Amino acid sequence: MAVIGYAHLEPPALKAVQDLEKKYELVLLAFQKPSATAELTQDQIIQIQQLERKLGCRLIAYE
């Protein structure tokens, strides 16, 4: 199972992210590079989408 966490950015990289946030009035989250996304069957995709709607969130499947 993939473990995903926030990326540890050096000050110049953090400033680049903050500059884009300010420029586009966004909030950007930097995550460490995870494993590849999972290859899903159509049935799995449908079940995940149903759960997303029920929970009101976005789910991403990783291998």
* pLDDT value for 4: 77
Looking at the structure of the chain, the number of domains it has is: 2
The residues, ordered by sequence, that sit 6+ positions from 58 with a Cβ below 8 Å of its Cβ are 52
pLDDT classification of 62: cutoffs 50, 70, 90:
confident
The model carries a pTM of 0.63
Same domain, 4 and 26: yes
Q: Are residues 28 and 3 in the same domain?
A: yes
40 with 27, same domain: the answer is no
Could you tell me if 44 and 24 lie in one domain? no
What is the domain extent for residue 25?
A: 1-32
Q: What is the pLDDT of residues 1-25, one digit of tens each?
A: 666 788 999 999 999 999 999 999 9
Q: Over the stretch 19-45, which tens digit does the pLDDT of each residue have?
A: 999 999 999 999 887 778 899 999 999
